[in-house]
Structure 1
Amino acid sequence: MQCSLIILACFSLSLLNEAASSRIFQRGRLRGGLLGEPNVNYSETLPPDEWFPQQLDHFDPTDRRTWKQRYFTNASFHQPGGPVFLMIGGEGKASPLWMVTGQWITYAKQYNALCFQLEHRYYGKSHPTQDLSVKNLVYLSSEQALADIAYFIEGMNKKHNLTLGTKWVVFGGSYPGSLAAWARAKYPHLVHAAVSASGPLLAKSDFGEYYRVVSDALATSSADCVSAVERATAQISIMLQHMVGQQTLNKMFRLCDPINPKIKNDLSNLFESLASNFAGVVQYNKDNRQFEGAKATNITIDVVCNIMVNDSIGQPVSRYAAVNSLLLDAYGQECLDYKYSKMIEEMKAIAWDNETAEGGRQWTYQTCTEFGFYQTSSKEPKLFGDNFPVDFFIQQCSDIFGPKYNSDFLKAVTYRTNTLYGAFALQATRVVYVHGSIDPWHALGITHTLLSDSPAIFIQGTAHCANMYPSAPNDPPQLIAARKKVGNLIGKWLLQ
């Protein structure tokens, strides 16, 4: 199955080969919040798992239940009096590979920093509760995660006997990029500065702007590519009206189950899955990351657009199907599983050993209770059709978690999130916001400098969290310059 909604996050998550077939159930983690592992070969010993005791509920002093949160340490660059760098975990398991590589490690060597990575509660091996039932998921929120960060900083200051005034710099990409900025705003006495990469700061239910950026990004390769996608979508709609056309679509797109156009949610899932093929390629275009579970790592905008403008393949719908097959084969999937009922049943599973417990159920819960971020078909140009409106995603919240998670509830919680953190009016000093122009998530982030001591860096032609990965020989000059500027800002802020 293909992957749809985020969020977000851009942090490290390893999708196993055997779990690739359930990518659609993860509701956008390939486009939502996922940094991926750095694309490097590393054969030396990696830092081991460590565990930090946390309160289950930081906001109820009468609740003394605790659990153990996973983290990693790298002290090899640290010198007495040096700063501390903390990479914040997101909606996937933390990877120790990030403790030895990535741009933040380059900065750590430069500034003699002690490095930590803290896994986000409810993801990876950090299991605060017995299962993922709705009654237990109430302790999963960005507010609790920020409090985890605060207590972790205090705990490490004591454990490592760090001198008073030791400066902590937090790093995060995608959802953790948001957390990095919010941590600096909420806990300025603990967090000295923050590097926020690709972080969405505006909670919004109907994130239709996402596909507008995808369309613009495809147009940078070829205007004919955009036109071909639009025509392919229209051809699918026509073919769905006839039995022969439906049978042809079943074969062309390698559907796991025959399509029934009378089942509206199946159609929405199908159209969104096919749109996600392009969205995922755009979001991570040429990022120096590993593609977990994938057999190919060089599928770029140009690759899919070259298929879409290739007349020798056939009509646009045939080219659209060819792109789908390319992605299915890349992830070792025999067929495209688009059935809505199957997706919901998978997402309702509450045991930690289920595939959706890798992050799909948890992140979906956070979108339903805090952020929205639903990548809908509501905005022009509608080259992917108009079959997955915001109501389609809100229904998923209700079907997975219960009827109270409806449109009124989502409206209230996104309003709450923006009230708590400030959205684009976030008041935090010493934060650098980094975004790429072809990353659709920049539409919900700060891309222009609003506060002089919290600059925005907008990198033309780069994708999701590009500045966080290790450098590569083919990095464009604007990306190289952005990394250098971030490093200079860190040095400047460490002197303040």
Structure 2
Amino acid sequence: MSCRIVFVLVVASCLLASASGIRVSQLFRLQKAFSLSPSIVEDQWFVQKLDHFNGADSRTWNQRYFMNDTHYVPGGPIFLMIGGEGPANPAWMQYGTWLTYAEKMHSLCLLLEHRFYGKSHPTEDLSTENLRYLNSEQALADLAHFQTVMAEKMNLTANKWVAFGGSYPGSLAAWYRLKYPHLVHAAVASSAPVHAVVNFPEYLEVVRHSLETYSSECPVLVQNASDTVMDLLKDPKNYEKLSKDFNLCEVLDIDSDMDSGAFLEALAGNFMNVVQYNEDNRAFEGVLGTNITIKVLCDLMAASKNSPYSGYIAVSNLMLATFGLKCLDASYKKFLEDMTNVSWDGPAAGGERQWIYQTCTEFGFYQSTDSPNQPFTGFPLKYHLQQCLDVYGAEFDCITVTNAVQQTNENYGGYSIKSSRIVFPNGNIDPWHFLGITKQISEELPAVLIKGVAHCANMYPARPEDLPQLVSAREYIGQLLQKWLEI
């Protein structure tokens, strides 16, 4: 993949070898994949249907999955981890809170990779025509077919199945329990944005609030710096200076709001990524930069408070150095070139082309600068919506996206989901908690809002420095599962 950090959309995924965080391409492009010896965790393959909703379509493909039966005792529950918008990470078969639960409850653990991501290739390429088979409903049907066949094959039909997922896979875990209650007994839906929305300016509002938790001065300095960059962009004479200051791979060439938006979002993405995963414990996934926290970024800004612009440069340089990049690629033209390559070997095939398609056809989730209560500027909703048109075609217009988001909420219920035995953990630092369930709906649909932690924090391995409320949340979720499983 190219060393480009153009931040179109900070997606949220906790289960990827390289998933979102610095734009869509943030984790797709920048985080190193964690690898285990094939003798420890082997790729396994399941023959899956291409279209679950057309009985006349007999086409199949091979879907990747992983298994860990270390703790399994016959009759124990089956834990099914759901893959998301990137390669399924076999590290989860050896690490994570769910394995602590599995050891205690004698569970068999399975991880199913999401269609169209990682090595799970249902079609010959990623053409827009083929991507019509990529959606959450097909993914849920994949889970159902996988579970049904595996249960018969492994004599697990009498066992209770529990779905696990974080972020988008967290939503899938909740929706799997909702749509297939006869198959899955319970679900842990961590940091799950269950409510779809076209415009999501609240994401950046939470970023501002999260920065304020460390220092009231921090978001003010960030806003000052962002405004300074915006002002400099108004005069082409400043393009060379901006390109040099932020170590761009190419000198800025601003022909449209899309070009300036890509650059401005790239710089904002440094803060978005760090806030979303603040003080996480993803090192077991092979993720770099987990020691870069809100504190680190705010201290850099404070050290340059007489020139917030200089602080903005220092933050950008730190992120480039952390990820081993020589320059920052903020070219919208290069982004389109990569995104319109439909080959499985293309630069956006790691998940970026696929995920943005899902936002255009199901979820929206566009983190715009349309709110005055956030520190950034330059990438409004129209900037995000234009990408749907530019990448996938004229039919993916604003009306299409709006209707798709409405249909998603009608299908799954959004904030008003009606089901049972689903727990919704969220961290209040995480911007995605705004679209999740943060207040208990009923005794059977409890919410766990964990103060001071970020995205999917409850899923990662425990460590001594974990906040007491995070420790308590993990214990509470384990107790819920034991209760629901009658263990």
Counterpart CA distance in 1 for 2:421 and 2:284 is: 32
Q: For 2:348, what is the secondary structure of its paired residue?
A: helix
Structure 1 residue aligned with 2:347? 355
Is 1:431 the counterpart of 2:457? The answer is no
Is 1:382 the counterpart of 2:374? The answer is yes
Structure 2 residue aligned with 1:308? 301
Q: For 1:398, what is the secondary structure of its paired residue?
A: helix
AA aligned to 2:320 is: L
Is 1:477 the counterpart of 2:450? The answer is no
Deviations 1:351-409 (A, max 9, x none): 11112111000001101100001111011323112x11111111101111100000000
The answer on whether the counterparts of 2:361 and 2:404 sit within 8 Å (CA) in structure 1 is yes
Deviations 1:396-425 (A, max 9, x none): 011111000000000110011000000001
Counterpart pick for 2:310 among 291, 299, 318: 318
Structure 2 alignment gaps of length 5 or more: none
Counterpart pick for 1:395 among 383, 386, 389: 386
More off after superposition, 180-189 vs 296-305 = 296-305
More off after superposition, 81-90 vs 334-343 = 334-343
Is 1:461 the counterpart of 2:484? The answer is no
Which contiguous aligned blocks of 4+ residues in structure 1 show a shift greater than 6 angstroms? 34-38, 41-44, 291-294
1:431 deviates by: 0.1
More off after superposition, 45-54 vs 302-311 = 45-54
Structure 1 residue aligned with 2:220? 227
Taking the TM superposition and a 5 Å limit, the aligned residue runs for 1:30-41 are: none
Counterpart pick for 1:252 among 240, 245, 254: 245
The answer on whether the counterparts of 1:56 and 1:67 sit within 8 Å (CA) in structure 2 is yes
Is 1:64 the counterpart of 2:58? The answer is yes
1:224 deviates by: 1.1
Q: For 1:441, what is the secondary structure of its paired residue?
A: helix
Is 1:445 the counterpart of 2:436? The answer is yes
Structure 1 residue aligned with 2:334? 342
Counterpart CA distance in 2 for 1:125 and 1:366 is: 18
1:291 deviates by: 8.8
1:322 deviates by: 0.7
Structure 2 residue aligned with 1:416? 407
Q: For 2:170, what is the secondary structure of its paired residue?
A: helix
Counterpart CA distance in 2 for 1:145 and 1:294 is: 26
Is 1:175 the counterpart of 2:168? The answer is yes
User: What CA RMSD, in Å, does the superposition of the two structures yield over aligned residues?
Assistant: 2.3
AA aligned to 2:259 is: D
Taking the TM superposition and a 5 Å limit, the aligned residue runs for 1:184-199 are: 184-199=177-192
From the superposition, tell whether residues 294 and 201 of structure 1 become closer, same or farther in structure 2 (CA, over 3 Å).
Answer: closer
Q: For 1:51, what is the secondary structure of its paired residue?
A: strand
1:200 deviates by: 0.3
Is 1:273 the counterpart of 2:277? The answer is no
Counterpart CA distance in 2 for 1:44 and 1:136 is: 31
From the superposition, tell whether residues 55 and 127 of structure 1 become closer, same or farther in structure 2 (CA, over 3 Å).
Answer: same
AA aligned to 2:397 is: N
1:333 deviates by: 1.6
Counterpart pick for 1:405 among 383, 396, 399: 396
Deviations 1:133-192 (A, max 9, x none): 01111100000000000011111111111253x100010000000000000000000000
The answer on whether the counterparts of 1:69 and 1:121 sit within 8 Å (CA) in structure 2 is yes
Structure 1 alignment gaps of length 5 or more: none
Deviations 1:304-352 (A, max 9, x none): 000001138x511011011011111111222221111110110011111
Counterpart pick for 1:486 among 455, 477, 485: 477
Q: For 2:283, what is the secondary structure of its paired residue?
A: coil
Q: Compute the TM-score of the two structures, normalised by the length of structure 1.
A: 0.93
Structure 2 residue aligned with 1:146? 140
More off after superposition, 234-243 vs 443-452 = 234-243
AA aligned to 2:269 is: S
1:35 deviates by: 11
Q: For 2:408, what is the secondary structure of its paired residue?
A: helix
The answer on whether the counterparts of 2:33 and 2:286 sit within 8 Å (CA) in structure 1 is no
**Residue correspondences, number:** 483
1:43 deviates by: 7.3
The answer on whether the counterparts of 1:205 and 1:371 sit within 8 Å (CA) in structure 2 is yes
Counterpart CA distance in 2 for 1:417 and 1:243 is: 43
1:28 deviates by: 6.0
Structure 1 residue aligned with 2:82? 88
1:297 deviates by: 3.1
More off after superposition, 191-200 vs 336-345 = 336-345
Counterpart CA distance in 2 for 1:330 and 1:35 is: 10
Structure 1 residue aligned with 2:98? 104
The answer on whether the counterparts of 2:200 and 2:368 sit within 8 Å (CA) in structure 1 is yes
Counterpart CA distance in 1 for 2:362 and 2:181 is: 23
From the superposition, tell whether residues 244 and 133 of structure 1 become closer, same or farther in structure 2 (CA, over 3 Å).
Answer: closer
Counterpart CA distance in 2 for 1:167 and 1:176 is: 20
Counterpart CA distance in 2 for 1:189 and 1:225 is: 50
From the superposition, tell whether residues 349 and 23 of structure 1 become closer, same or farther in structure 2 (CA, over 3 Å).
Answer: farther
The answer on whether the counterparts of 1:231 and 1:317 sit within 8 Å (CA) in structure 2 is yes
1:36 deviates by: 9.2
Counterpart CA distance in 2 for 1:380 and 1:310 is: 26
The answer on whether the counterparts of 1:294 and 1:331 sit within 8 Å (CA) in structure 2 is no
1:295 deviates by: 5.4
1:257 deviates by: 2.2
AA aligned to 2:84 is: G
Deviations 1:101-126 (A, max 9, x none): 10000000000001110000000110
Counterpart CA distance in 2 for 1:407 and 1:391 is: 9
Is 1:207 the counterpart of 2:211? The answer is no
The answer on whether the counterparts of 1:8 and 1:29 sit within 8 Å (CA) in structure 2 is no
From the superposition, tell whether residues 453 and 23 of structure 1 become closer, same or farther in structure 2 (CA, over 3 Å).
Answer: closer
AA aligned to 2:58 is: R
The answer on whether the counterparts of 1:7 and 1:29 sit within 8 Å (CA) in structure 2 is no
From the superposition, tell whether residues 287 and 4 of structure 1 become closer, same or farther in structure 2 (CA, over 3 Å).
Answer: farther
From the superposition, tell whether residues 163 and 372 of structure 1 become closer, same or farther in structure 2 (CA, over 3 Å).
Answer: closer
Q: For 2:133, what is the secondary structure of its paired residue?
A: coil
Q: Compute the TM-score of the two structures, normalised by the length of structure 2.
A: 0.95
